[in-house]
Amino acid sequence: MTKKRSAPRPSREPAPAAAQESSAAPVPELPVFRELSGARGVRAPLDTLLAGLSRVVPFERASFFFLRPGGGAGLQWAANFRRAPSDDEPEVGLSPRLVNWAMADARPKVAPPGSIGNDRRIYLFLPLWGLGEPLGLVIARTMLDAEGLDVAVESAVQGLAAWFGERVAYAVAYLGAEGERSALAGREAMASALLDSVSEGLVAVDEAGLVSFVNRNARIMLSLFDADYRGRDLVPLLPADVATAFAAVLAEARERGGAPARIVERSAGGADFPLEISATRVLPGKSGPAAGPAASTLLVLRNLSAGARLARLEEIDRLKTEFISTASHELRSPLATVREAVRLLSEGAAGKLSDEQRRLTDMVERNVDWLVRLINDLLDMSRLEAGRIHLDLAAVDLDGLAASVAGRFGVEAERRRLDLRVRLGAPGMRVRADPDRLEQILVNLLANAFKFTLQGFVQLATSTGPDWAEVAVSDSGVGIAADDLPLIFEKFEQVGRRQDLSRKGSGLGLAITRRLVELHGGTIRVASRPDEGSTFTVRLPLAPAAAPEGDGHG
Ligand code: ADP
């Protein structure tokens, strides 16, 4: 099928008998043609072809087939044109041999009755060639007699087909280019989505000084919401306060390849902020095609306000918190399983343990416990930061709760030979608190006191003022250097020496404690001297006198 078009000549070779093989097998629709028939430049030639054809060869219907892309003699049905209102006949089926016969050259051919299935009517086969390549076939069911076409008609038909073929070939080539263009448009859409997500404003300006791209943040910073800026000079469209600086930076960048940043005061989106404008020249890559993109200038706009920078940092922080929250949540259940399994092992559920085995299971238990504490702390921290911890406030008997929490450290005090003192100075005083969270606060502080105290005492004391009550946790431990004091309430800060490694911490305890206290409307403060000891004091508001009685801990 590489044969070029031949001169119009009558064709009277009989259609191959193999045409009989082909019945009314359905041929799938070729999507390309649907695009093609709707494509600019094809619809009108199609109408011309059909009109011309019907003038010289009376036909009832015509079917268009296009060669399958990728070769082979197979054709795909593309479209039907009927002169009469629709009839119920099956679609024409084509055998490869019939197609080869029809496409063997560019001449129109008349297939004798019976060439297509059992159909006794006369079909005109009109090969379509364009730009020297076979394109497809028009098959028209005619009202001709079996004698076929006379020479004049044949040459008129072939002329029409040749003309139409060229048009379609150009349209196909055009569609191919369109395809590339739309792939390019897809990539462009992806790129602008990416550029829209950066916090800087970006404006690309071509050699002629016309705008080719403005990202979302630049539109916000420059108040370019409905302005039609594409392909235009941006400067006259800019707000007066920016236009001068913008033009100067642009001119300098184009002259020298770059421009130092300028800062202008902007008001946009209900806020005043310093806007930094800088620019760089973007030169086409040396390795690119010769006719690559021309050089252009990229202007970078930055909102320099502290608020904008803070918002960015907050955003990063939020993402991190979210990640921690998800990760620690996911870690909890497998860890609980490990803890349970180790507990069973060390209780001898799987057989009596040797000393060495017990030593190992103890070690696993300690570390799993530490991991559980760490994960619980991480989860608490991320919930606090996301504002997802809600207090169940009640009127809590402070002394009662303090005594109960201190009691839980009795065994540890004995084991460590530390003097655990409890000084209750707020009898009957109720604070407005979530009993579980208040208990968590006290446990954190007491655990730290034990952790950082080698000898002496750990003390828990309560006291009251006019509208507050306090609970203070003191120890005679290692204390905290003055320089470190401001750090200890920050996340992940662990300062100084550690006394008791068996209670490894996460560096989150005090950060969580402080946030919980503040969530209660309270305050926490610390007084400490290295090698003398520390005192952490939590002050909480008293519960309103009329508040319903309720203490979480007896
Ligand atoms: P960690 O999990 O390390 O205990 P925290 O947030 O509870 O984390 O404490 C932060 C740091 O503050 C500790 O690593 C320690 O250096 C110091 N710290 C807290 N409590 C005490 C204390 N009672 N005595 C001495 N240092 C303390």
Residues 424-435 pLDDT 10s? 999 999 999 999
CB 495 less than 6 A from any atom of ligand 1 = yes
pLDDT in tens, 184-233: 676 666 676 667 767 788 888 888 888 888 888 888 888 777 667 778 88
pLDDT at 453 over 50: yes
CA distance 278 to 260: 6
pLDDT for the residue numbered 478: 93
Atom of ligand 1 nearest to the CA of 495: 16
Atom nearest to 453 CA in ligand 1? 24
Quickly tell me which residue has 């099956």 as its tokens: 90
Asked if pLDDT for residue 302 goes beyond 60, the answer is: yes
Contact by Cβ (8 Å): 129, 8: no
| Whether pLDDT at 553 is above 80 | no
Residue located via tokens 């007699």: 145
The answer to whether the CB of 191 is under 6 A from ligand 1 is no
**Does the C-beta of 496 come closer than 6 Å to ligand 1?**
yes
What backbone phi and psi angles, to 5 degrees, belong to 151? Answer: -60, -40
Residue 32's pLDDT band, with cuts at 50, 70 and 90, is very low
Residue 300 or 497, more confident:
300
User: Could you tell me the distance, in angstroms and rounded to a whole number, from the CA of residue 338 to the centre of ligand 1?
Assistant: 28
Ligand 1 within 6 A of CB of 488: yes
The C-alpha atoms of residue 44 and residue 56 are separated, in whole angstroms, by 19
Phi, psi values for residue 418, rounded to 5° = -110, 150
Pocket probe mutation, ligand 1, options 446, 478, 488, 504, max atoms within 8 Å of Cβ: 488
CA distances 330 to 312, 320, 388, 491, Å, are: 27, 15, 18, 21
User: Are 355 and 297 spatial neighbours (Cβ–Cβ below 8 Å)?
Assistant: no
Q: What kind and span of H or E run contains 246?
A: helix 240-256
With respect to CATH, is domain 309-386 assigned 1.10.287.130? yes
State whether residue 543 is helix, strand or coil. Answer: coil
Answer yes or no: is the C-beta of 510 below 6 A from any ligand 1 atom. Answer: yes
Residue type at position 228: D
CATH 3.30.450.40 residue ranges of the chain are 4-177
CA of 379 to the centre of ligand 1 (A): 19
Tell me the three state secondary structure of residue 549. Answer: strand
> Token pair 């064709």 is at which residue?
11
Fold for 4-177, please state it: Beta-Lactamase (3.30.450)
Q: What is the pLDDT of residue 271?
A: 75
E strand map for 103-142: 109-111, 123-130, 133-142
Q: ∠ at Cα 208 (203, 209), nearest 5°?
A: 35
On average, the pLDDT of the chain sits at 77
What is the CB neighbour count within 10 angstroms for residue 429?
22
Decide if pLDDT at 34 tops 70: no
Coil vs helix vs strand at 97? helix
- CATH fold of 394-541: Heat Shock Protein 90 (3.30.565)
Is the CATH number 3.30.450.20 carried by domain 199-283+294-307? yes
pLDDT tens column, 304-329:
887 777 777 777 777 777 777 777 77
Q: Of the candidates 463, 459, 471, 393, which has an alpha carbon nearest to the alpha carbon of residue 427?
A: 463
Ligand 1 centre to CA of 510 (Å) is 7
**Any residues with CB less than 8 A from the CB of 385 and at least 6 apart, and which?**
317, 321, 515
513 lines ligand 1 (CB under 6 A): no
Residues of the chain within CATH 3.30.450.20 domain(s) are: 199-283+294-307
Q: Are 446 and 406 in contact (CB under 8 A)?
A: yes
Question: How far out from the chain centre does Cα 136 lie?
Answer: 45
Neighbours of 402 (CB within 10 A): 26
In this model, does residue 392 exceed pLDDT 70? yes
User: Is 25 a residue whose pLDDT tops 70?
Assistant: no
Q: What percentage of the chain carries pLDDT values higher than 90? A: 26
Q: What is the pLDDT of residue 398?
A: 96
Could you give the residue range(s) of every CATH 3.30.565.10 domain in the chain?
Answer: 394-541
CA–centroid distance, residue 289 to ligand 1 (Å): 63
Check if 446 has its Cβ closer than 6 Å to any atom of ligand 1: no
Residue that is written with structure tokens 């530390």 in the block: 418
Q: What pLDDT is attached to residue 24?
A: 37
pLDDT for position 192: 67
Domain span(s) for CATH 1.10.287.130 in the chain: 309-386
User: Six-digit token pair at 50?
Assistant: 């059909």
Residues of 25-57 as b/e, b for ≥16 C-beta within 10 angstroms?
eebeebebbeebeebeebeebbeebbebbeebb
Mean pLDDT along residues 76-101:
57
> Mind listing the pLDDT tens digit for each residue in 398-425?
999 999 999 999 999 999 999 999 999 9
